[in-house]
Amino acid sequence: MSKPRFDDIFMELAVNLSKRSHCIKAQVGAVLTKETRIISIGYNGPPSGTHNCDEEFPGVGCPRDSKGSCSLALHAEQNAILYAAKNGAVIEGATIYVTLSPCIACARIIFSMKIAKVVFLHSYAQYKGIPTDEGVEFLRKFGVETVQYQPAAGFETVIQQGDPHL
C-alpha cells in the first residue's frame, strides 16, 4: 500500500475542518502549509468570541450582505492566515488548501501575504452561481499557482464531491 500524498492529507484535513464551521449556508475549511508542515488551520465563521451563527440565527443563518454573503463571518482562508500572522509564522511561500476556491477579497489577501500556491476543492463561482471564479483568475493573473485538487488514484478519503455544504 502506498502512502498518501501530502496534497491528499492536507485536503482531507481541510474537509474535516470545514465540519467545525457553525455556518448553516456553507462550511469551508483551510490548511496553510509550508513544505510538508502545517503552519495554520481555519474554517469559516465569525470572529472568535462573538457568536455562532447556527445558535444565534437557527434555521436562517446570519444576516447577508449585498452580494448574498455572510456579513459577520471571516472566510476559512482569512482565519488561517490571521492565526498564522498573529503567532509569527512565516507565510511567504506557503501553500493553502481550501475546500472552496477563494473569493476575490480572499485572493487579494492571499496575494498580499505572498502565498505561493492555492489548492482548492470546489469552485466558488459554481457555489455562488456566478460566471467566473474571480479570485482564481486574479491569483493566476498575478503569478500565484492556483489548481483544483485532484485526489490520487486509489486514495480513500472523506472528500465527497457532492457534499451539499461544500
CATH number at residue 72: 3.40.140.10
Question: How many domains would you assign to the chain?
Answer: 1
pTM above 0.95, yes or no: no
Q: Which residues span the domain enclosing 21? A: 6-100
**So what's the pLDDT on residue 59?**
78
pLDDT of residue 94: 98
Look at residue 65 and tell me if it is in a domain.
Answer: yes
pLDDT computed for residue 153 by the predictor: 78
pLDDT score recorded for residue 70: 74
Q: Is residue 72 in some structural domain?
A: yes
The pLDDT profile of the chain, 166 residues, written as one tens digit per residue, is 678 899 999 999 999 999 998 888 889 999 999 999 999 999 998 888 887 877 777 777 777 777 777 777 899 999 999 999 999 999 999 999 999 999 999 999 999 999 999 999 999 999 888 899 999 999 999 999 999 999 887 765 555 544 545 5
124 part of a folded domain: no
Per-residue model confidence (pLDDT) at position 1: 61
Q: Is residue 156 in a domain?
A: no
Closest CA to 115 of 132, 130, 93: 93
Q: Tell me, what's the pLDDT at 87? A: 95
Question: How far is it, in rounded angstroms, from Cα 139 to Cα 116?
Answer: 10
153 falls within a domain: no
Is residue 19 in a domain?
Answer: yes
Rounded Cα–Cα distance for residues 135 and 52 (Å): 27
pLDDT at position 86 is 95
* 80 in any annotated domain: yes
What is the C-alpha to C-alpha distance for residues 65 and 33, in angstroms, rounded to an integer? 31
Q: Which residues are part of the catalytic machinery?
A: 77
Residue 161 inside a domain? The answer is no
